[in-house]
A and B are shown apart, each in its own frame.
Chain A
Amino acid sequence: MSAASPLLEVRDLKVHFPVKHGVFGAARGRVKAVDGVSFDLEAGETLGLVGESGCGKTTLGRALARLVPPTAGSIRLEGEDMAHWSGAQLRARRRKWQMIFQDPYNSLDPRMTVGHIIGEALEIHRLAPKAQERQARVRQLLESVGLDGAHAASYPHEFSGGQRQRIGIARALAVDPKLIICDEPVSALDVSVQAQIINLLQDLQQKRGVAYLFVAHDLAVVERISRRVMVMYLGKVVELGSAAAVVRTPQHPYTQALISAVPQIEEQSQRPRIVLSGELPSPIDPPAGCPFHPRCPVAEARCKVEVPLLREIVPGHWAACHLAGGGSSSSQS
């Protein structure tokens, strides 16, 4: 692997789920939860992933963590395609990536002590075979996420939501992963605690050089923590660029609407407000042409027939819209 190649290269990744009818019924359709997603993630980078519920962002995160099997495409981690690994091969490499979940109340086993929860990963991957070593390591991990080492003997219910999320982070860090997939890690937390966790994640990244795929629906949070931001709509990436560019000069009409919908503390500015009509269409039966055209305020005739491809509008800033940048795109029908 050359030093220049990214940590993670995802190419044309698809995750489709069959929709079944009744108990024995045959598949009557497919939900294209993730439909041809490609992107790179550098080591030590944070890539934010936003979109409305049902857009496929959680499924994408889970597919990258190999918690759901990808239907097609490749996921190259440090140059090795892990999309179709299984069994021992997968198990041996699982410690390269970890996941942090949204709900700190449901993602920790209530009957295990915190020390056991964090130590389990060390045990499985044989990172600290001796019990004493393991205990010392657990204590270290707890301290690195701002908790007291003595908390190892406590149970999850003894902690607040923010503290539990810290435990979840310590568990993810235990195996020293290269990539952590954070699925809405702060959405269940209060504002004051949310800021603590965001700061902690940023500190840990600086110290350890771990990369994050940060999945969230709160654009302000994503902008703050990410270097680049990717926007998904109905299983497809509609925009990808630096966090500042995506938020300040969004190219895709969907991103523009999403940003204008965020209620702001500042007084009503001259910001144009775009209230989208309607809701996310069903991914079983997505609209023809551009998937966003039924809700798009600027859609034209060709948007109903031609699928727009993701293209570079300005250097480093990509959008899948025929009209973005005033230009015309190459397209597929």
Chain B
Amino acid sequence: MLLEIRNLQLEFRSDRQAVRAVDGVSFSIGPGETLGLVGESGSGKSVTALSIGRLLRTPPAFYPGGEILLAGCDVLKASNRELRALRGRGVSYIFQEPGVSLNPVFRVGAQIKESLRLHRPEAATDAEVARLLQAVGIAAPEMRAKCYPHEMSGGMQQRVMIAMALAAEPKLLVADEPTTALDVTIQAQILALLKDVQQRLGMSLLLITHNLGIVGQMADRVAVMYAGQIVETAPARELLRRPLHPYTRALMQAAPKLGVDGGRLANIPGSVPRPGAMPPGCRFHLRCAIARPACSVKEPALTVVEAGRQVRCPYWNSP
């Protein structure tokens, strides 16, 4: 395994309180594999991903338990020096809003070159910048390298972000909602690009999204998060064909599907509980269609129910 996360606990502490944002998350990603991490806002998926490169500042972020192993490095125990070596070559990131992630006062070519200087100093040349821009599908790369971010469209900016991430030749690319801010036609271009560079470079991909359609198109396996925990993991195809956890099922029914009749949308009542205000027992029981009295008492464990499939619900098999 390239990445292994075991029983990760993440707390945000202030003077007054500690809020547990991630509570016992475990998953792994093999070389060249794509894992889709799915969940609604507040489920803890982004902070889990940021923990892999230790991108959360301490304080307020603390790790009271668990471990993250990336390419042989124990991330939570690593020194600053080890972390610097890990970031970039071990793990690179692209985020939702490329316009915010790029520095507005530098030309994009200079920003890509900076990434090269940090992670592959021997390759910090204009030619390599042009090659990277070309690799992410930008025509006339020498000219485009001289543009400032605001001179580019959102799709173009996201391509630049991908070029910056690829500059380090990372083993793992974390893409956190990479196409949420983009139009569908541009989204299709960026997803096709990500798949293409991943196959060419043999990189692993952690794709964070709330869109199950994207998961079906991109991921090998999926982990569904709810309220700081994983509630279901499965091979992507199987999960979409037959979701087992009541939350996953509800999520799929709540998403309207194109070209499918079906009257009223099934909705999930209420909203995701805030960290620090978790209900007792199963964290989903207040919104669950098949909840029983026992669900408000005992917290269910993530259990293997079939080969390659885990579910955090003892009643997954009952209607």
Does B associate with A? yes
Name A's B-contacting residues (CB within 8 A).
52-53, 160, 162-163, 190-196, 198-199, 202, 217, 219-221, 223-224, 244, 247-248, 257-259, 261-268, 273, 275-277, 279-280
Say whether B16 faces chain A, with CB atoms less than 8 Å apart. Answer: no
Q: Which of B154, B213, B268 contacts A262 (CB 8 A)?
A: B213
Q: Which of B153, B210, B217, B250 contacts A279 (CB 8 A)?
A: B153
Question: What's the interface size class on B, roughly?
Answer: 35 or more
CB distance from A224 to the nearest CB of B (A): 4
Q: How far is the CA of A202 from the CA of B256 in the complex (A)?
A: 14
Name B's A-contacting residues (CB within 8 A).
40-41, 153-156, 183-189, 191-192, 210-214, 216-217, 237, 240-241, 250-252, 254-259, 261, 264-269, 271-272, 287
A160 partner residues in chain B, CB cutoff 8 A: 271
CB distance from A68 to the nearest CB of B (A): 22
Q: A193-B271, A265-B216, A267-B241 are in contact. Are A275 and B192 (CB under 8 A)?
A: yes
Q: Which of A191, A247, A264, A267 contacts B254 (CB 8 A)?
A: A191
A196 touches B185 (CB 8 A): no
B184 touches A262 (CB 8 A): yes
A265 touches B188 (CB 8 A): no
Q: How far is the CA of A277 from the CA of B186 in the complex (A)?
A: 9
B250 touches A267 (CB 8 A): no
Q: Which of A194, A202, A258 contacts B185 (CB 8 A)?
A: A258
A264 touches B216 (CB 8 A): yes
Q: Which of B154, B156, B268 contacts A195 (CB 8 A)?
A: B268
B267 touches A266 (CB 8 A): no
A199 partner residues in chain B, CB cutoff 8 A: 264-265, 267
Q: A223-B259, A247-B259, A248-B259 are in contact. Are A194 and B254 (CB under 8 A)?
A: yes
Q: How far is the CA of A194 from the CA of B256 in the complex (A)?
A: 10
Q: How far is the CA of A244 from the CA of B258 in the complex (A)?
A: 10
B211 partner residues in chain A, CB cutoff 8 A: 263
* Residue on A nearest B241 in the bound complex, by CB: A267
A265 touches B213 (CB 8 A): yes
B240 touches A192 (CB 8 A): no
Q: How far is the CA of A277 from the CA of B184 in the complex (A)?
A: 12
Of A193, A258, A268, chain B has the most CB atoms within 10 Å of the CB of: A193
* Residue on A nearest B153 in the bound complex, by CB: A279
A190 partner residues in chain B, CB cutoff 8 A: 40-41, 210, 271-272
Q: How far is the CA of A257 from the CA of B187 in the complex (A)?
A: 12
B191 touches A263 (CB 8 A): yes
CB distance from B222 to the nearest CB of A (A): 12
| CB pairs A–B below 8 angstroms (13 shown) | A163-B271, A191-B210, A199-B265, A261-B188, A263-B191, A264-B258, A265-B240, A266-B240, A267-B216, A268-B217, A276-B185, A279-B155, A279-B156
Of A190, A198, A223, A258, chain B has the most CB atoms within 10 Å of the CB of: A190
B153 touches A265 (CB 8 A): no
CB distance from B44 to the nearest CB of A (A): 14
Q: How far is the CA of A275 from the CA of B265 in the complex (A)?
A: 29
Q: How far is the CA of A217 from the CA of B211 in the complex (A)?
A: 14
A195 touches B265 (CB 8 A): yes
A263 touches B216 (CB 8 A): yes
Closest 5 CB pairs of A and B: A263-B213, A192-B268, A195-B267, A190-B40, A195-B254
B265 partner residues in chain A, CB cutoff 8 A: 195, 198-199, 224
Q: How far is the CA of A261 from the CA of B214 in the complex (A)?
A: 11
A257 touches B185 (CB 8 A): yes
CB distance from A255 to the nearest CB of B (A): 11
CB distance from A206 to the nearest CB of B (A): 11
Q: How far is the CA of A103 from the CA of B217 in the complex (A)?
A: 29
A265 partner residues in chain B, CB cutoff 8 A: 212-213, 216, 240, 252, 255, 257
CB distance from A5 to the nearest CB of B (A): 30
Q: How far is the CA of A181 from the CA of B126 in the complex (A)?
A: 50
* Residue on A nearest B264 in the bound complex, by CB: A199
A221 partner residues in chain B, CB cutoff 8 A: 256
* Residue on A nearest B258 in the bound complex, by CB: A220
Q: A263-B214, A267-B240 are in contact. Are A192 and B267 (CB under 8 A)?
A: yes
* Residue on A nearest B253 in the bound complex, by CB: A195
Q: Which of B184, B187, B267, B269 contacts A219 (CB 8 A)?
A: B184
A220 touches B184 (CB 8 A): no
B251 touches A191 (CB 8 A): yes
CB distance from A169 to the nearest CB of B (A): 15
A264 touches B185 (CB 8 A): no
CB distance from B43 to the nearest CB of A (A): 9
Q: A223-B258, A275-B192 are in contact. Are A195 and B266 (CB under 8 A)?
A: yes
B191 partner residues in chain A, CB cutoff 8 A: 263
Q: A192-B268, A217-B184, A275-B192 are in contact. Are A223 and B212 (CB under 8 A)?
A: no
Of B192, B216, B261, chain A has the most CB atoms within 10 Å of the CB of: B216
Q: How far is the CA of A279 from the CA of B154 in the complex (A)?
A: 10
